[in-house]
A and B are shown apart, each in its own frame.
Chain A
Amino acid sequence: MDSIYLLYIIALLASLSCALSGTLLTVQKKAMLGDAISHSALLGLVLAYLISGERSIPYMFLGALVAGIGTAYVTEKLKNTLHIQYDAALGVIFTASFAVAVILISQYARQVDLDAQHLLFGEIALAPFDTILFGNSDLGPRAIWTLSLALLCNIVVITLCWNRLKATLFSTNSMQAIGIKAQYWQQLCSILVAITAVSAFESVGAILVVALLVIPTNTAKLFVKHSLLQTIIISLVISLITSIQGILISFWLDTAVAATIATSLFVNFLILSLIQNWIYPSKANIQTS
């Protein structure tokens, strides 16, 4: 298949997965979790390499996944035990993880290119060429497999658990009072975000992942106020359109594809915010910021 088409498909898969789990994230006001996971995943990579002794993709992926899920979980615990803000707990966890990871790399893994920069910047244009070899046959780009899996997880979890998710994200306490374990559902959301993010990092890069998780949803929220389902759908659409826009611009300007898509998301959001704010100046704030 022509690599250009693969590029679009990969962008599409990443956009869909991130829009789904990203909306759940945004609605819980934990938008910075994506950024945090992108940094603490490095620790997972390093530990996987050190423990397994080889630079093999499945192990590293698993390591990053465990780190991501661990970050989400430990942050919640830290927030509840120390009674601090969610953002502060995130800051503690991801900086500590990243620091340990960098130290481990400089001590034990210098010679091995763990591709830390790749993790951060990522390059989606290379992804179509990074294929999985199974036996003798080429199964196609690895990115498509991992992203499809992530998308499947997102779709399955969200459709099956729609009621619970909506209820526990909206009114945690009231649901707790009638016996529904709200914390478990919140943890499930965080795990979903971790799976999505880690699956997308390698092909799409951390910057774009964070942008995809948060920006389309907030753009959608400029227009849709009353329905969570519609918010998700509109953010999917925005995500797809902007991905195409970004890819085209990156070809034109010869810049990195992932970064260009993310920039497009950002710029579009700002423009739409400005327009929306100009047409409907917001009502007085209930609380001072």
Chain B
Amino acid sequence: MVELSLIALFQEPNFLWVILGVCMLAIATSCVGTFAWLNKQSLIGDAMAHCALPGVAIAFLFSQSRHPLILLPAAIIAALTGNAILNWLVRRTKLSPDSALAIVLSGYFAIGAMILSLIQKMPIAGKAGINQMLFGQAAALDSLDVNVLTITACVVIFIVMMVLPRLRMVIFDSQFAQTTGTSVAVYKQLMGVLIVVCVVIGIQIVGVVLMSSLLIFPAINARQWSNHLHRLLVISAITALLASVLGVLISYYFSNMPTGPWIVVFLTIFLLFSLLFSPRSGGLVKRIIDYRQQTIIHSENITRIWYLLHHKTDNKNTAEFTKTDALKVRSMKSQTFNRGFKYALKKGWLEPWGYGYRLSTLGFSKAEKITRHHRLWEKYLSENKQLPAQQVHNAAEYAEHIIDDNIADKLDEILGHPSLDPHGQFIPIKKDSSQD
């Protein structure tokens, strides 16, 4: 199973060239894949991969050679014609895009299979290798294959980088692009050509069936982390690169493992990781963030309880209150209360005093600020929106934690610097030294 030790592997020049080629391929494919995804044509990689078959079959039939410089151009030409037919079907006959993809995919593959069935009846040497085409095998590449792969991929990357700004405009707002004189059709066709080229050269590594994964996975993955085009491209490229290198490593190390599936396995692992841990998409990180936010909200509520208690007592000298006193004012689950209380202590808003706890100066201004926000919001809602009175209070209970000083000042201004809230309680004035 383990044929070469890892170090020996990295000293093999052929292996290094393969890795380089695969890296270039990964970057190129993930870039064009991101654009395909943005263009809502995710499975075009799958379709183009299938369209390559008749090209390969015909070229083999006539040349009887498996030379890459014969088969690859034939495959590319076949896929390009498939792409052209696809575009014609969608644009001219108003065929639904998903149906068009399925029709062209199955049609072309059928033609290829038909020709293959002819070939298989003929006494031609070297007919085996269909497996390799279906599933991909990086270790089977010779130096010519690798060179063609690397150079082509680099050309694709170069072209994408050159046309990037215009391309972005075309995808996001093709009507605007047309009015500024940019030909939308040309750029879309260019993208089509680049996708075809990447897909065809990639089939040798990844196989026909799995080729679409190198276009789709990196894009979805990147989307979990960012919505900016440049970042999408970079994150896609990195993901594709890592997954491809790891996949190639595994298939060299364990010689009976095909490359394509392992690349997909790593792509899936990265995707799962992103889904769980990226802050944008929910999953674990979000839960942790949520939990923390909630703790902060609880602690602010608790601090405010002390503030209210403080204002309720007649004797302004008695500053301390117990937890039980607090819970009488506002009931909470004890677990929630303790959680928030600990946080308030930690932040220094409350401090032990006498037989209980009291507000610190920091805590006092914090609570006063929140109360100001609460009452300003209540005033805003009751004057400008229609809510039942109890709901006004509930809405403010929530808003008080969201509003910052900026919004509060705006409210103050709009409402004309009010001094009382709808319940007749006074609205605290803003003090200059305040921390959030």
Contact = CB atoms under 8 A, between A and B. Distances in A.
Interface of A: 26, 29-32, 34-35, 39, 82, 84-88, 90-92, 95-96, 98-100, 102-103, 106, 110, 117, 120-121, 207-208, 210-211, 213-215, 217-218, 222, 253-256, 258-260, 262-263, 265-267, 269-270, 273, 276-277, 281-282, 285, 288-289
A35 B265 contact: no
**Which 8 pairs, one residue from A and one from B, show the smallest C-beta to C-beta distance?**
A266-B107, A262-B110, A99-B264, A256-B117, A99-B261, A259-B113, A95-B213, A31-B102
B187 to A, nearest CB: 13
B113 A266 contact: no
A140 B108 CA distance: 33
Contacts of A110: 256
Interface residues of B, number: 66
Given A88-B216, A117-B130, A276-B93, A260 B105 contact: no
B102 A100 contact: no
B97 to A, nearest CB: 8
Contact of A288 (B115, B175, B213, B261): B175
Contacts, number: 191
A282 B98 contact: no
Given A98-B264, A254-B118, A273-B93, 6 more contacts: A29-B99, A92-B268, A96-B265, A99-B265, A117-B134, A259-B113
A95 B214 CA distance: 10
20 contacts: A29-B99, A31-B99, A32-B43, A34-B102, A35-B105, A87-B101, A88-B220, A90-B43, A96-B264, A98-B210, A99-B268, A106-B258, A215-B106, A253-B114, A259-B111, A259-B113, A259-B116, A263-B107, A263-B110, A285-B94
A35 to B, nearest CB: 6
A289 B94 CA distance: 9
A289 B118 contact: no
B102 A91 contact: no
Contact of B106 (A214, A217, A222): A214
A99 B213 contact: yes
Contacts of B262: 99, 103
B69 interface: no
Interface in B122-180: 130-131, 134-135, 174-175
B271 A92 contact: yes
A87 B219 CA distance: 13
Interface string B65-94: 000000000000000000001000111111
A259 B110 contact: yes
A270 to B, nearest CB: 7
Interface string B33-54: 0000100111101100000000
A282 B210 contact: no
Nearest to B219: A88
